[in-house]
């Protein structure tokens, strides 16, 4: 599982480190001491601003920062002192409240905050739901920072690797086929049952392909799946596990493989469910580059329920 031992880094700023196993305590102290030239004690916590946290992440991500990007500050004041970091797929009001209650005022989100990809509220600028969210952010002095394009540009793909870990497929990678995993031979309907048991699904598992289709290889495509990705990856994989493929692109392409007598499968589990493990893995990674800050992952629920489920 990505995410590591839950709360390991939370102990850095807990009232007492005495209850920690010695080895871990030494590890944590050693790590932070190395980073802070030995000057840090618990009474002298580093004061990092949101801007400094963002700068550290940008400098560490290993991907050149793009001029045109959806990533960056979406709400709040970058000069705010960070009390803790929350990672999430989507910074809903519920996630923001939970982050505030936990004293983690810097929220790293993979998806937009204000109901549009560019976070421009547009026609909703005077909408009470939008205004209530803005007020919540102001009241708790939260800072929301989007980290999607650059996190997802890391290689190997973090989101696929994290999803594979959640599915307990780590180590089953197919050589020379990125994000593709070989599993014990099964059927499409049996794979759906496996996914249901291992993912927090409420509604969004929709399937293209005959339920009895036999399969061995699955291409993991959290988020969306472009046509080019479907065309390329179905050459090696039997099935694509996607978040939200568009229904005029990867979906009809997969459907047409059956008429061409090369039947392939596609399972759409929804964007949030598909990216949940990625946001958790992101928390683990941020801890590694900001060990002096408490970092926690807050899951966002599947927003859908299925009528036909």
Would you tell me which residues interact with another protein (CB under 8 A)? 89-90, 92-94, 97, 111-112, 115-117, 123-124, 127-129, 132-133, 189, 192-193, 196, 203-211, 227-228, 230-231, 243-244, 246-253, 255-260, 262, 270-272, 303-309
3-class secondary-structure state, position 192:
helix
* Closest to another protein by CB, 40 or 153: 153
Q: How far is the CB of 150 from another protein (least distance, A)?
A: 17
Measured from the CB atom, is 9 or 229 closer to another protein? 229
Q: How near is the Cβ of 184 to another protein at its closest, in Å?
A: 20
Q: Which is nearer to another protein, 277 or 290 (CB)?
A: 277
CA-to-CA separations, 85 to 10, 50, 149, 286, 299, in angstroms, rounded = 10, 10, 19, 9, 14
Q: Which is nearer to another protein, 33 or 194 (CB)?
A: 194
Picking from 189, 188, 167, the residue whose alpha carbon sits closest to that of residue 179 is 167
Torsion, CA 162, CA 164, CA 170, CA 175, rounded to 10: -110
CB of 136 to another protein, least distance (A): 9
CB of 291 to another protein, least distance (A): 30
Tell which residue, 159, 224, 218, has the closest CA to residue 192: 218
Comparing CB distances to another protein, the nearer of 24 and 246 is 246
Closest CA to 49 of 308, 233, 263, 293: 293
CB of 166 to another protein, least distance (A): 18
Least Å distance, CB 285 to another protein, is: 21
Nearer to another protein, 17 or 190 (CB): 190
Residues 6+ apart with CB under 8 A from 168: 198
Q: Do 158 and 151 touch, CB atoms closer than 8 A?
A: yes
CA distance 242 to 225: 6
């Amino acid at each position: 599982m990505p995410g590591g031992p839950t709360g390991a880094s939370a102990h850095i700023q807990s009232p007492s480190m005495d209850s920690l196993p010695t080895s871990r305590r030494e590890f944590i102290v050693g790590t932070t001491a190395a980073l802070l030239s030995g000057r840090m004690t618990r009474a002298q916590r580093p004061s990092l601003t949101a801007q400094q946290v963002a700068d550290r992440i940008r400098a560490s991500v290993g991907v050149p920062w793009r001029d045109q990007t959806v990533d960056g500050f979406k709400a709040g004041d970058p000069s705010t002192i960070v009390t803790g970091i929350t990672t999430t797929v989507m910074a809903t009001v519920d996630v923001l409240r939970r982050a505030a209650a936990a004293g983690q005022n810097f929220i790293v989100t993979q998806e937009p905050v204000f109901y549009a990809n560019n976070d421009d509220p547009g026609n909703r600028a005077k909408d009470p739901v939008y205004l209530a969210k803005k007020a919540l952010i102001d009241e708790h002095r939260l800072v929301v920072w989007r980290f999607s394009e650059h996190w997802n540009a890391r290689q190997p793909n973090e989101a696929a690797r994290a999803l594979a870990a959640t599915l307990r497929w780590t180590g089953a990678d197919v050589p020379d086929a990125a994000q593709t995993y070989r599993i014990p031979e099964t059927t499409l309907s049996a794979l759906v049952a496996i996914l249901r048991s291992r993912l927090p699904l409420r509604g969004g598992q929709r399937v293209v392909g005959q339920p009895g289709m036999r399969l061995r290889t699955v291409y993991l495509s959290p988020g969306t799946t472009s046509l080019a990705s479907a065309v390329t990856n179905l050459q090696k994989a039997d099935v694509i596990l996607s978040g939200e493929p568009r229904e005029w692109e990867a979906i009809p392409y997969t459907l047409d493989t059956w008429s061409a007598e090369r039947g392939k499968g596609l399972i759409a589990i929804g964007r949030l469910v598909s990216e949940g493990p990625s946001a958790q893995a992101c928390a683990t990674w941020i801890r590694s580059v900001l060990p002096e800050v408490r970092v926690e992952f807050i899951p966002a629920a599947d927003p859908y329920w299925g009528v036909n489920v």
